[in-house]
Amino acid sequence: MNQDIYVVIEHLRGQVAEISFVMLAGARELAKGLGGNVVAVLLGHKAQGLAGNPSAGAGQCLAADRVLSLDHPALADFTSDAYQKVLTDLIRKDQPRAVLFGSTSIGTDLASTLSIKLGLPMVSSCRSFSAGGKFVSQICGGKIMAEGDLPGPTALVTMVPGGYKAEQGQSTQSPAITQVEVPALESLRVTLASYIEPESGDVDIAKEPVLVSVGRGIQNQDNIVLAEELARALGGAVSGSRPVIDQGWLVTSRLVGKSGKSVKPKVYLALGISGAPEHVEGITNSDTIIAINTDPAAPIFGVAKYGSEIDLFDLIEVLTEKVKQSKGG
């Protein structure tokens, strides 16, 4: 048993997932108090390059003290079967103080099955740590923040975004990489048949600098055009809350929140959105949230930097016009 914090790096199609950097930032905070190292665990095949230059940009190395690389053709793509076998072996052998997983379909699959297999405690939906070894978990869809001492001997933790910025888990220096022997991976019950790319063509709201986001307050599909005009004037895109997508007023790729995308624009303008936890979960990485809602008690005002109780229909066209004028027509 040692005080090291292991972080299972999620990656897809040669890109490190943002949650991996968030976890590295959390691990650093935890390790500070516990006196251990931050260790990135990289499962894959010929994937070692991801440790040093994950997204082909400076400052995007994994901010870990070292990387354990577990390389095998059967680990090229995630399968629960192969990843579980390898991690079971590693955790049994090394006994770190904690192993962090993303609160994603991959991370939740792994952490929960490993918890049962290894008889280790699991902490789910963790948002942040304190240096003293405490965790804060965002439970009941974000309605309750639960705080506790990290259980032992090895805590398996799934982490949600929101507690740390991805940049905090990035470094300009490549960490040292150690190759770890992979156990036999024959007779796997599950293998990947093929990877189906999601349909593309729409804008990626996770990359837009400005989002004009509409909620049920927009009332009907005909009014979406008002938001589109404002977004165009601001140089951004339109996104929406769940009811707007469920009604078919916007396509699914524009959904923000728990079942949609986590966004990080410079400006997130929420028009007629109440601020339910499932929605807020996806906007906490925005630089500035501006809320327009006629209900002064709407929870969105709790996360917004600026807000107004004005009727969105009294604002939207006037604002579009003002933005156009300020840009010279």
127/279 with CB nearer ligand FAD: 279
Residue 276 token pair: 């339910």
Bridge pairing between strands 122-130 and 134-139: antiparallel
* CA-to-CA dists, residue 211 to 192, 260, 288, 307, 315, angstroms: 36, 14, 11, 15, 16
Q: Which one among 27, 211, 273, 304 touches ligand FAD, defined by CB under 6 A?
A: 273
44/142 with CB nearer ligand FAD: 142
Task: Determine, following the binding rule CB under 6 A, whether residue 255 of this chain makes contact with ligand FAD.
Answer: yes
The rounded distance, in Å, linking the Cα atoms of 242 and 172 is 38
Task: Determine, following the binding rule CB under 6 A, whether residue 311 of this chain makes contact with ligand FAD.
Answer: yes
Residue 215 CB, shortest distance to ligand FAD, in Å, is 3
List the x/- string, 208-247, binding to ligand FAD by CB under 6 A: -------xxx-----------------------xxx----
Task: Determine, following the binding rule CB under 6 A, whether residue 294 of this chain makes contact with ligand FAD.
Answer: yes
Q: How many residues bind ligand FAD (CB under 6 A)?
A: 26
Burial class from Cβ neighbours inside 10 Å (0-12, 13-18, 19+) for residue 139 reads middle
| CA terminus-to-terminus distance, the chain | 66
124/170 with CB nearer ligand FAD: 124
Residue 204 token pair: 């990626």
Task: Determine, following the binding rule CB under 6 A, whether residue 272 of this chain makes contact with ligand FAD.
Answer: yes
Task: Determine, following the binding rule CB under 6 A, whether residue 163 of this chain makes contact with ligand FAD.
Answer: no
Residue closest to 212 by CA, chosen among 236, 241, 247 = 236
Residue 320's contacts (CB-CB under 8 Å, 6 or more residues apart) are: 226, 229, 230, 233
Residue 279 CB, shortest distance to ligand FAD, in Å, is 3
51/304 with CB nearer ligand FAD: 304
51/276 with CB nearer ligand FAD: 276
The rounded distance, in Å, linking the Cα atoms of 177 and 194 is 30
Task: Determine, following the binding rule CB under 6 A, whether residue 258 of this chain makes contact with ligand FAD.
Answer: yes
128/293 with CB nearer ligand FAD: 293
* CA-to-CA dists, residue 43 to 46, 60, 71, 123, 190, angstroms: 9, 18, 6, 22, 17
63/283 with CB nearer ligand FAD: 283
Q: Give the footprint of ligand FAD on this chain (CB under 6 A).
A: 215-217, 241-243, 255-260, 272-274, 276, 278-279, 292-295, 298, 311-313
